[in-house]
Structure 1
Amino acid sequence: MKSQIYQFVSYFTIIMSFVPAVIVMLKKLWQATPFQYFAIYWFINGLVNTMFVIEGLPKKFIEVTSVIYNSLDIPMMVGIIYLSAFSIALKKFIRIGLVVFILFELFCLIQGGFKYAALKYVLGVGLLFLMTIIIWQISLYLQQVVHVTREKALLLIHGALLFQYGTYIVVYIFDYFIVDVADGIDKFLIYYISTIISISIGSSGLLLKGLQKLPSTTAIRRSFWAESQERPVR
């Protein structure tokens, strides 16, 4: 019974991973860079997850692909958030943190070999780094008095990512530190279900009415900067 549920959830996760890209195309949001990149990220996620349901693939190929994807996942998401960030302090923190993280990741892969076990501490540090950035970005959105539709959409997407990567921390702990408690199916079920919920929340942001008719992200950044200049100093 569990294997049947796992099979259904895994296929449904793959289908859901392509939904944001479909929404972006149907709503013609490709010129809105942040939404384009978030859609591409989930699309790649769907392609990678497809690998786990295809029978007959060599285990070595799956392991190498898994290591590559897990190595690039956090830097890729951090880069996407950087492009949508409007805070100078946050962007500076991301630039410095990303360089340090990539150097640490390369060091661990060189020392431990190109294996999933070599990412044990890298993924932990990366998840904390990414969660900090997401929470910081969300707090900046919440500080604004007025939210246009684009900001509401980005807020929903960042909330979805906060839930998704927050759940990944649980999977990470079971994967590396509490290995004997949960079997592989349990861990993947948590991963797939959290991904489905996250994509559903993010897609609801992309479906907001009037999203495609809003000004560019650059204009919003200028608006936020102007608003911050008008706030009284305390």
Structure 2
Amino acid sequence: MTQQPLSETKQKILQAAIYLFHSKGFTGTSVREIASRANVNIAHISYYFKGKGGLLEYLVSQYYEEYIQVIEDNYAQLTYKNAHVILNKMVLDILNYQHANRQLSRLVYREVTLDSVLIREVMTTYLMKEKYYLQAVLEQGIEEGIFRKGFIPHIIIQLRSLLHMPYLQPQYMSEVLYIQPHETYFVHQYYKELKNWLNSLLIDNQTKMVEGKLIAVR
């Protein structure tokens, strides 16, 4: 039997862990089950991740590394695009990222609701960065005269809740609301509604649309 490249073995472990942590929960999943589903030697999990806890830490960290990169890529354009355009694109890119990583999104958001050393580290690194970028965009919009003044922490709470809820509670979405968040069309429809919500919440009454662009009326 030909030996698989180590990188492929590592990827198989990650995919198995995402599936099992998502479906059975972190505490309900054993290292042996992960190794069995990945069809690898159990020693590989210890070698690559130093056990189940290290595997979860890796998954959460990698998820937020890419999540923050999505936000940073949009934030970097703030110097030559207005805050309204940046925020809308940021929201769309986050929705697409979550949709592309549906099981992992649910797993990560579920874990973030728990109090642990790992999650406290996530809070002080990735989530503080997320807050910084969202706050900067909102403040820029207020300074530009496009967004109305408001209590930014409350706006961030509402926005994050709307962004994450479909992936945090997919059973509620499908079994109560009869909406399928795993379908591609959901992202497009939900984005339209989120954009309308953002406009109603943020756009200043003294702002008007001119040639497809929001212009502050002085």
Same fold (TM over 0.5): no
Q: Higher relative contact order at CA 8 Å, sep ≥6: structure 1 or structure 2?
A: 1
Q: Which has the higher helix share?
A: 1
